[in-house]
Structure formats: C-alpha cells, structure tokens
Structure 1
Amino acid sequence: MTPEKDETQTKLKLSVVRDVSIVATLVVLGLYAGSAFLIPLTMALLVNVLIIALSDRIIALTRMPVWLANLAGVTVVLAGLFVIMYILGSQATQFARTIGTYENQFDETVNRVTGLVGNDVTAFIRDNLINIDMSFIARVLLGSATSLLNQFFLISLYVAFLMAERLAFRKKIQLAAGDPKTGIEFAAILDAISFSLQRYVGVKTLISLITASISYSVFKILGLEFAETWAVLTFALNFIPSIGSIIAVIFPSLIALVQFESIGPFLVIILGCGTIQFLIGNFLDPAFLGRSLNMSTFLVILALMFWTTIWGLIGAFLSVPLTVCILIVFSHIPALRPVAILMSLDGKLGEDIRPGNAS
C-alpha cells in the first residue's frame, strides 16, 4: 500500500471520528436542553408499553375483545400511576417539610448509638453527618416526584393518542418505508424494542410491587411514620439498577433509627428488608428476566450515571429501558453492530433480543 493511500485512509478515519463526536455531542446537548419535553414523552412511551403488555396478557387469559382489554389496561395502569404520584406529591412533600424535627432528634440518636459502636465510630458519624442538610436532600429527591404529578395529565394525553394509533402505526411504517424490505426490517427493530421493553417493564413492575408490598407490611407493623411514602419509594427505586434497592432500605432504616428510642426497628428494617431486597434482586429478578436484556453489567452502571447526569433522578429510572432501545437499534445497523456487541453481556446478538427467542 502506497503512503498516499495510507494518508487518505487515516484522514477518512479521523473525519469519521470527528463527525461521530460532533453528532454525539449534539445529541447529548439536545437531550439535556429538551428534557422538559422529552421526559414526559419518554414516560408516556414506557407507560404505553406497560399498558400493551397488560392488555395482551388480559386477552390471552380471558379472550376479551381487544378494545375492552386496552381500556382495562389503560384504566389499571393510569390509576396505579396516579396513586403513586399522588402519594409522592402529597405525603412525601409533608415529610420534606417536617424533616427538621428529625434533625433535632439526631443528637439523641447518636448518643444511643455510642454504646453500641464505640466513641470512634460515633465521632465519625457526628463529624460527617451533622453537617448534611437533610431537608435539602429530601427536596431534591422528592422534587422530581412532585414534578411528575404536575405532568400526569400530559403523560395521560400522550398515552391516549399512542393507544389510539397503535394499530395504524404499523401500516404507516410500511407506507413510509417505500421499499417493502426496508419496512420489514424497520418493523423488526420496533418489534424487538417493544418485546424487550414489555418484558423489562412488566417484570420489574411485578417484582417491585411484591417488594414494596412486603416492605410496607413491615413498616406498618413497626409503626414507621410515612409508611406509604417509603413503600412507594421502594417500588420506584427498584427500577434503578444496583443502587436503587440499597437506597430503598437505607432511608426508612435511618428514619426508624431516629423515630424510635430502641434500635430494634432499625435492625428489623435494615436486616429484614435488606434480606428481601437481596433475595429478590439476586434470585427472583434474574429468574424472571433471564437473558432477555443481555446487557453488560458495566454498561448498566455507566448508563445509570449518564442518564442521571442528563435527566436527573428521572433519568436514573429510565436508564435501563433507554439503553435497551439503543442496544437493539445498534444491533440492527451493520456499521454499529460492533458497538452493540461491546454493550452486550456475552457478545451474542440477534436471537437473544428478538421476540420469541429470549430466554
């Protein structure tokens, strides 16, 4: 190969890297700048996926007409979503306002802990936690929930139109593609995305509901304040990979440590609910999801950090579904397929993510 050809190929590679970098930068800036519009739309798409999964299951079990199953799915999902947002937007806001009373009880709690862990650990706790503005943290964590409550009707409007165009959308894809082969390939991508998202959203919703129900029973038996809020947060935080279940145990256990004079309720929550989270996260969750997502563990953490940086707390909840979409799209584009292989768990694509072939 001549030096001129080598130089030409090098310039082409550099130009490709440059163009990809520019496009990636513009996409990230667009996601950040358009978050106010994109977040409710993305939430509506995921809610629509959950409704379709529920309506399809209703049809399979009851042979109900499609329109009636869709209506039942919309009613159940939107009602559940409204209840969740209402609790987070009302009771959780009340908690954020009264968290100052817990700060006043912090010194008493530290004194009780002294006899259990020793003066050195107590000094560390006092030095590192006493300066934390708990009310600010509470407002940051719960502000996104209140914002979602305000956007509930917008999300519902999006869902209504998405459901209305569900059947016509596939026909429009075929007409827009022009070439039948291109239309089939594009429809295959959408089917794979829809299948993986239905599997993920449906399974995670069921598992999170089971976890939240068990945790709520424990909170009510112990008499923990704002038990409904902690149960809803347990349900929601289970959608955040890896760290979500840990946070779901830490917050109520710390409140129990401050609220009760004895350390017993704290131990019950930290050990009991922690064990439940561990068992469900390491056995029940993988058993239901299997290898259908086929995502690298490192990619899950990386996606969590990226989407949280771009869209805040809501981005953390949406990190896995959004990354699943990206992985599937990349796997169907020849030029981006090597990137999809790197993003996958074991490097196997195609059959692992197509409907009817996921384990």
Structure 2
Amino acid sequence: MDRESERNRLHARLSLPVARDIMIVGTLSVLALYAGAGFLIPLTVALLVNVLIIALSDRFIALTHAPIWLANLAGVTVVLAGLFVIMYVLGSQATQFVREINTYEDEFDTAVRRITGLVGNDVTTFIRDNLISIDLAFVARAAVGSATSLLNHFLLISLYVAFLMAERVAFRKKIRLAARSPELGADLSAVMDAISISLQRYVGVKTFISAVTALISYGIFRLLGLEYAETWAVLTFALNFIPSIGSIIAVVFPALISLVQFESIGPFLVIVFGCGTLQFLIGNFLDPAMLGRSLNMSTFLVILALTFWTTVWGIVGAFLSVPLTVCILIIFSHVPALRPVAILMSLDGRLGETDADRK
C-alpha cells in the first residue's frame, strides 16, 4: 500500500508540470492563431483544397487508370475552377445584394404584417421582436466580406496548392529522413496517413452532399423566380459545411427574402418546407450514411469547435471548424500523453483505426 501511495503521489507531481506546459502551449497557440489569421487562413484553405484534389485525382485514377500527372491536372482544374466560381458569385452578385439589403430590411416589417392573419399575433410578435432585431446588413456584409477576402487571396491559394501538389511525394520522404529514428518516421507517416484519409473522406463526401443540396435548392429558387438565386445556391453549398446551424441559415435567408419579394406567402412556405425538408433528410440520413463513423467526433465537440474557430477566425473559421478539429483529434490520438484527451473528444471513446494499429 505504501509503494502504491508513493507511486500515486509521484504521478501527481509529474502530472502538474505536464498540465502546466499544456496550458502554456495551448494559450500561445490560440494567440498565434488569432494574430496570424491573415497568413494561416489562406494556407489552411490551400491544404484542404489540396486534400480534395488528391481525393479527386485518386478517384480519377481508379476509374480511368490514367497517369498520375493527368489525374492531378484534372483534379486541380476541377477544384480550382469550382472554387473560383463560388468566390466570384459571392464576390459579385452577393455584393449587389448587400448594397440593397437596407431596402429589404425596410420592407420586411410590411411582409411580416401580411402573415399576421395566417399565424396569429403572438407568432408575428415573436418574429418581429427576434428576426427584425437581427442586423441582417452586418451578417451579410461579414459573409460577403469573408468571401471577397478569399477571392483576393485566390492567386495565393492557387500557388500554395501548386507547390503542395509538386511536393506531395517528396514531402513524405523528407519526413522519414528528418525523423530521428525509423520508428518515429513510421509514426509520423501513420499520423499523416490517418489525417489524409479522414480529411479526404470528409471533404469529398461533404462537397458532394453540399453540391447536391445546392443544385436541388437552386432548382426550387429558379422555379419560384427568387431574386439572387445563384447567390442563395452558392451560400447553401457553403453553409452546409458549417455543422448544425449552417443548414438552418441556408433556409432562413432565402425564405426571408421571399417574404419581401412576393405578395403571397406561398413561396415562403415552399422554401421553408421544401428546402427545410431537404436539409433535414440529407443532414439526418444521407450525411451520416455516407460519412459513417469516419469522424467519430463528439456532438458537443462539434458545437464547441464551431464556437472556438468562429471566434478566432470569423466566418471562415466556421467553415473550417470540423476539418481542423479532425486533424487535432487524430494528432492527439497518436500522442500517448494526449491520448486521453482524444478519447474524451471522440463520440464513443474508441479511436477507430488507431486502436487496431496498436494491438
């Protein structure tokens, strides 16, 4: 018993410096993320774009057995062209919408009065007090401002992607050579492979699901004759990358605009129930079925990560919250001292492939 007590006291003494060092490193890391956002955000976007390109090129090779250089070229062309189109729409058409949003805000109160007879005074009062009080102009300017900023950095992101693709194979060799031992090199390679596989699956599946959702929503918007249909479709695509609240926002904004644009409440109901049902079905059935247990992240962690990255990097951080947290979870799972933290971050306490590898 005395030896066991002594071990426990020694373990407690050793744990305090470790906890202190983790807190110091964590605090400095948060400060560095906030201070270096201008440099780190384009680099992070480039890394995720690179992951998507690799996923597309690998799929292209599997389907066509094309040479690697041709598959990489096809992946780069498709992804960068799609990224440019998204940023261009948000930077041009959405900018025009921001200039006119004050007009929409003025007319929204009138639109709310039109639905008083349908939903009752109590619901109307709730809508007026909670929705009109939201500064839509600020939200729209922040969203378009972030997209415009990324559009301005498009050339820099493209250069990052080009050099990342060029050093894709050489970088792994350099990691092994830089490691102090073959075991450390193998561990680093395992971490990189785990991050790459998880991110490729997440980014690829999420891009496909978001594109399907945006295309169906765009068809609904065009059939209704909703103004700025392209902008709402692009925002639907982008907002689906924001966990939990993104799909709600993707329905709320076009629904509110339909109240102002149309005299009848029909288009509003079509968007709310049509697009809302679509988002619900995809978010609760298709999304989990395709992603499966590949992420294995706690639901609370997803919301916490969304709050943290949005606070540090703004709206762009909201889009990047899940991929960045996946990277942190995988890295923690491969570091013995931080493995308990990774278990707490996971959905069910199991770390998937990592456990299998260690047995």
Q: Deviations over 1:48-72 (max 9, x none)?
A: 0000000000000001110011001
What residue in structure 2 maps to residue 61 of structure 1? 63
What residue in structure 2 maps to residue 316 of structure 1? 318
Q: Deviations over 1:106-145 (max 9, x none)?
A: 2321220111122233333334444443222211222111
Q: How does 1:145-184 map to 2 (within 5 A)?
A: 145-184=147-186
Does the CA contact (< 8 Å) of 1:331 and 1:349 recur in 2? yes
Aligned-partner Cα distance in 2 for 1:353–1:277: 34
Aligned-partner Cα distance in 2 for 1:295–1:353: 15
Counterpart secondary structure, 2:263 = coil
What residue in structure 2 maps to residue 134 of structure 1? 136
What residue in structure 2 maps to residue 99 of structure 1? 101
Does the CA contact (< 8 Å) of 1:195 and 1:354 recur in 2? no
What residue in structure 2 maps to residue 269 of structure 1? 271
Gap runs ≥5 in structure 2 = none
Q: Which amino acid aligns with 1:338?
A: P
Aligned-partner Cα distance in 2 for 1:212–1:159: 25
Q: How does 1:47-126 map to 2 (within 5 A)?
A: 47-126=49-128
Does the CA contact (< 8 Å) of 1:53 and 1:198 recur in 2? yes
What residue in structure 2 maps to residue 244 of structure 1? 246
Q: Deviations over 1:74-97 (max 9, x none)?
A: 001000000000000111111000
**Normalising to structure 2: TM-score of the pair?**
0.94
Does the CA contact (< 8 Å) of 1:192 and 1:353 recur in 2? no
Q: Which amino acid aligns with 1:314?
A: V
Could you say if the C-alpha distance between residues 70 and 6 of structure 1 is closer, same or farther in structure 2, counting changes exceeding 3 Å?
A: closer
Q: 1:217 is matched with which residue: 219, 224, 232? A: 219
Q: 2:255 is matched with which residue: 236, 253, 256? A: 253
Does the CA contact (< 8 Å) of 1:31 and 1:38 recur in 2? yes
What residue in structure 2 maps to residue 341 of structure 1? 343
Q: How many matched pairs?
A: 355
What residue in structure 2 maps to residue 27 of structure 1? 29
Q: How does 1:169-208 map to 2 (within 5 A)?
A: 169-208=171-210
Q: Deviations over 1:323-354 (max 9, x none)?
A: 11111111111111111111111111142798
Shift of 1:4: 8.9
Q: Which amino acid aligns with 1:243?
A: I
| Percent of residue pairs identical | 76
| Cα RMSD after superposing both structures | 1.9
Aligned-partner Cα distance in 2 for 1:190–1:134: 41
Aligned-partner Cα distance in 2 for 1:286–1:5: 45
Counterpart secondary structure, 1:293 = coil
2:233 is the counterpart of 1:231 = yes
Q: Which amino acid aligns with 1:93?
A: T
Aligned-partner Cα distance in 2 for 1:49–1:160: 12
Does the CA contact (< 8 Å) of 2:333 and 2:354 recur in 1? no
Aligned-partner Cα distance in 1 for 2:316–2:244: 16
**Normalising to structure 1: TM-score of the pair?**
0.94
Gap runs ≥5 in structure 1 = none
